[in-house]
């Protein structure tokens, strides 16, 4: 997938943290890698450019001011 590069970046940051004794940063990168991998998996199969909030019914109408009670 086109966005998998972010996993490489996070892995490099984790390696840097590990080699330099930055334990808290290393653990945060491990967490971030897991979260990003899960999110990328969840959006696979969507058409390129599809907004990630596509399942939020009515959001466009709320932004346009529809449904306001006066």
* pTM, two decimal places: 0.61
pLDDT for res 44: 78
| Annotated domain spans of the chain | 1-44
pLDDT in tens, 5-62: 999 999 999 999 999 999 999 999 999 999 999 999 888 766 555 555 545 444 444 5
Contacts of 1 (CB under 8 A, 6+ apart): 40, 44
The tally of CA atoms less than 13 A away on the side-chain side of residue 25 is: 13
């Amino acid at each position: 997938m086109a966005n998998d590069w972010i996993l490489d970046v996070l892995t490099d940051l984790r390696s840097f943290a590990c080699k330099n004794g930055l334990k808290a940063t290393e653990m945060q990168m491990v967490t971030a890698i897991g979260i990003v991998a899960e999110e990328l998996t969840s959006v696979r199969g969507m058409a390129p450019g599809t907004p990630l909030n596509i399942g939020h019914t009515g959001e466009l109408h709320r932004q346009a001011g529809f449904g306001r009670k006066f």
